[in-house]
Chains A and B, each alone.
Chain A
Amino acid sequence: MSKLKSTLGIVAIAFITLTAVSCKDSKKEQESIDGHQSEMNSGEDHSKMNHDNSDGHHDGEKTEMAMGGHGTSEAVLNDYFNLKDALVADDNAKAKELGAIIATSFGNLDVSNYTDAQKASLKDIIEDAVEHAEHISESDIDHQREHFKILSKDVTDMVAITGTKNTLYQLFCPMYDGGSAWLSMSKEIKNPYYGSKMLKCGEVQKEIN
């Protein structure tokens, strides 16, 4: 009788082990499916957001830029400004969403119309920016701001190549991390590195265009 029990036990354990292993695999599969889904979702969010902006209901500064189409540097810039506004508003959750969105728009940036040297630089910028944007999509707000600093540099370098039809301002906060810059459509200082803690810290460094 006890032999029968232990045999049953062994069979049960073998079953559990196999299930555990297959779970491990299916978890990975699930993850990759989720990954696809979130990509798709962010695509939807994207179009929604563009819509919100064109309505002019945005709570940050006016981002009434003429909307660039899919895969353009104007689309990246638009997403960047939205992300900046979320950080200005100390909104961690929104910045996460927008981090995922700008990762997608950077990834979709079409570089085919540039010279080979420009293509190489842009690809480099894109690779770097996507990584920082992905980190922003999954971090607390302090980390988001750290990554936003480098993302700002990437976006600035992108604009130096692609240009933009709007006038941008490079603003500079001398206090954050030994001095940090960001881009804005407006001269008005609204600091994304400190948010409400030090909203007015910063100065106009340069006008772009």
Chain B
Amino acid sequence: MKILKIIAIILLVAFVGIQFIPTERNQSDTVPPTDFMLVHNVPETIQNKLQVSCYDCHSNNTQYPWYNKVQPAAWFLEDHIKEGKAELNFSEWDSLSSRRKKSKLRSIVKQIENGEMPLDSYTLIHKDAILSKDEAEEIIGFITQLKNSL
């Protein structure tokens, strides 16, 4: 019993302790003129879906739910966001050349088609980020059309 109590105290202290370790927050008040949504004429339904399903990790502005401000969840998220933005950053979309854009659009289509994006670990918590079959098809159709027009 005593040992349980000690373990509980230890865990609590550790939990509180790690909260003081700073993390980098991915947040911005402004939408830069290079943003994908500003550069292209994106239908509203697709805008909303991209915003909810992709922008948390692929833009300069993450909508943090409360539990992602708490460690160790925040660490996990930080790494994902860094990695996600390195691959594709919708906020800086227009700084890419048209070759690079086509390349990225092609990858977007492939990733959605293969069900690799949005990540399972993300949709597990963000149920609203799951793409239904229709939504996926709609996005793929739009992105493909955009790619062919570039």
Which A residues lie at the B interface, using CB under 8 A? 2, 5-6, 9-10, 12-14, 16-17, 20-21, 24, 124-125, 127-128, 131-132, 146, 150, 154
Alpha-carbon gap, A150 to B46, bound state (A): 26
- Top-8 shortest CB links A-B: A9-B10, A13-B14, A124-B97, A17-B17, A13-B10, A13-B13, A10-B13, A124-B99
Given contacts A13-B10, A128-B99, contact A150 B106 (CB under 8 A): yes
Q: Judge whether B68 is part of the interface by a CB distance below 8 angstroms.
A: no
Q: Is the Cβ of B18 less than 8 Å from the Cβ of A17? A: yes
On chain A, the residues within 8 Å of B17 by CB distance are 13-14, 17
Point out the residue from B6, B9, B103 that lies within 8 Å of A132, measured CB to CB.
B103
**Closest beta carbon of chain B to A150's beta carbon, Å:** 6
Q: Judge whether B100 is part of the interface by a CB distance below 8 angstroms.
A: yes
On chain A, the residues within 8 Å of B10 by CB distance are 6, 9-10, 12-13
Q: Is the Cβ of B103 less than 8 Å from the Cβ of A128? A: yes
Alpha-carbon gap, A12 to B6, bound state (A): 12
On chain B, the residues within 8 Å of A132 by CB distance are 103
Point out the residue from B9, B75, B97, B99 that lies within 8 Å of A10, measured CB to CB.
B9
Chain B residues bordering chain A, tally (CB within 8 A): 16
Which B residues lie at the A interface, using CB under 8 A? 2, 6, 9-10, 13-14, 17-18, 21, 75, 97, 99-100, 103, 106, 110
19 more CB-based (< 8 A) A-B contacts, given A9-B6, A13-B13, A132-B103: A2-B2, A2-B6, A5-B6, A6-B9, A9-B9, A9-B13, A10-B10, A12-B10, A13-B10, A13-B14, A14-B13, A16-B14, A17-B18, A124-B97, A124-B99, A127-B97, A127-B100, A128-B100, A131-B103
On chain A, the residues within 8 Å of B110 by CB distance are 146
**Closest beta carbon of chain A to B111's beta carbon, Å:** 10
| Nearest opposing residue in chain A for B9, CB measure | A6
- Considering residues A9, A21, A125, A132, which has the most beta carbons from chain B within 10 angstroms of its beta carbon? A9
Given contacts A128-B103, A146-B110, contact A6 B6 (CB under 8 A): yes
**Closest beta carbon of chain B to A31's beta carbon, Å:** 12
Alpha-carbon gap, A67 to B102, bound state (A): 32
